[in-house]
Amino acid sequence: MIRFFSILLFAVLFLVNISSAQQQLTLPEASQKALVTQTVGLTDISIAYHRPGVKEREVWGKLVPYDVVWRAGANENTTITFSDEVMISSKVLPAGTYGLHMIPTQNEWTVIFSKNNWSWGSFSYDEKEDALRIKVKPVSAEHQEWLSYSFENPSANNVEVVMHWEKLKVPFKVGIDKKVFAEHFKKELDGIDKFFWQPWNQAANYANQNDLDVDEALSWAEQSITMNKNFQNLWTKANLLEKKGSTSEAEALRKDAWEISTEADINTLGYQYLGSNQVDKAIEVFKKNVEDYPESWNVYDSLAEGYALKGETKLATEYYQKALSMVTDDVNKKRITDTLKGLQAN
């Protein structure tokens, strides 16, 4: 009998436990989760948020009250992550993940980057945890049913982050300081790249083109030359010396570079000039290749492209025809033929 009641008691307790347990099924969220990312230069920026809908509601001043800290989305904390230090409204913000909050008003908004990135919404927001606050102007926009974040007008070291919901956009600009590029290069050049001349030259050349520290760039160029002296790294060092004001030393180095140059070296340099819109310099470089390598169809093709970009159609046609008479592969024959047709049509 005692054993029977013990078994009965165990069964009752087991049924009670089953009835009290609530298995939670994962269901779609009304405000769905979203993640947007953008790389600016070498810096990654990402925003994780939930997207509430307007749903025929009055949003600003009602659903989202004025003068109250708002989670800048729905559900848990909206977060923004920077892989490197950034500049926001000329203020430095270290790398990291931040809770993103906003205080809406009718005329000017406050955008808040909080060191607390783990709370639920803005209910636990504490101003003492602010890493940065900025003021921004909202702008009128077309209707956006579901709140969104986007990255607009990206450049080499800037991008505009835009929150868009209902008929309003709230933008703020994120900038990357040039020193970040140098920091990335230093890390990579401490790795396997340090054993090859090309990465050292690439870092030095980028520094020259983007006005990074000249002395540091010169040290990178020197390291590249020590490992493998060639046209490319000599030319890079010459450019840096010229930027520093050592014109005569730069010219002497360029002379040395010309003496060891190959057709491919000169052709690459010409296209670098074309890429930076220095068409006249590119043409002069391509002319040298024509003089030094008259048996190569490619040198005439490159010079023709330079003249075409300058708008000198007659000279471009002349050199394209010369290249066409020498080229042997069908792919380039067709390309040059089509290019000539385009020049004649214009």
For residue 211, pLDDT over 80 is answered with yes
Rounded to an integer, what distance in angstroms lies between the CA atom of residue 203 and that of residue 232?
12
For residues 132-144, average pLDDT: 96
Edge to edge, the sheet with strand 32-40 lists: 32-40, 43-51, 79-82, 96-103, 109-114, 130-136
For residue 310, pLDDT over 60 is answered with yes
pLDDT grade, residue 125 (50/70/90)? very high
For residue 90, pLDDT over 80 is answered with yes
pLDDT grade, residue 345 (50/70/90)? confident
pLDDT grade, residue 13 (50/70/90)? low
Span 156-198, pLDDT tens digits: 899 999 999 999 999 999 999 988 999 999 999 999 999 999 9
Q: What is the pLDDT of residue 7?
A: 55
For residue 297, pLDDT over 90 is answered with yes
Length of the chain equals: 346
Span 246-284, pLDDT tens digits: 999 999 999 999 999 999 999 999 998 998 899 999 999
10 compared with 22, residue with greater pLDDT: 22
Span 54-82, pLDDT tens digits: 999 999 999 999 999 999 999 989 999 99
Rounded to an integer, what distance in angstroms lies between the CA atom of residue 181 and that of residue 83?
12
Span 220-239, pLDDT tens digits: 999 999 999 999 999 999 99
Mean pLDDT of the chain: 91
| Contacts of residue 291, Cβ cutoff 8 Å, sequence gap at least 6 | none
Q: What is the pLDDT of residue 301?
A: 95
Q: What is the pLDDT of residue 267?
A: 94
Residue ranges of domains in the chain, CATH in brackets = 32-175 (no CATH), 179-345 (1.25.40.10)
Q: What is the pLDDT of residue 11?
A: 52
Q: Which of 329, 327, 259 is nearest to 288 (CA)?
A: 259
Q: What is the pLDDT of residue 1?
A: 53
Q: Helices marked H in the chain — which ranges?
A: 2-20, 179-189, 197-209, 214-227, 231-244, 247-259, 263-275, 279-292, 297-310, 313-326, 330-345
**Dmax over Cα atoms in the chain, in whole Å?**
114
For residues 330-344, average pLDDT: 92
Q: What is the pLDDT of residue 221?
A: 97
For residue 16, pLDDT over 60 is answered with no
Rounded to an integer, what distance in angstroms lies between the CA atom of residue 30 and that of residue 224?
57
For residues 273-301, average pLDDT: 93
For residues 18-26, average pLDDT: 65
For residues 128-148, average pLDDT: 96
pLDDT grade, residue 21 (50/70/90)? low
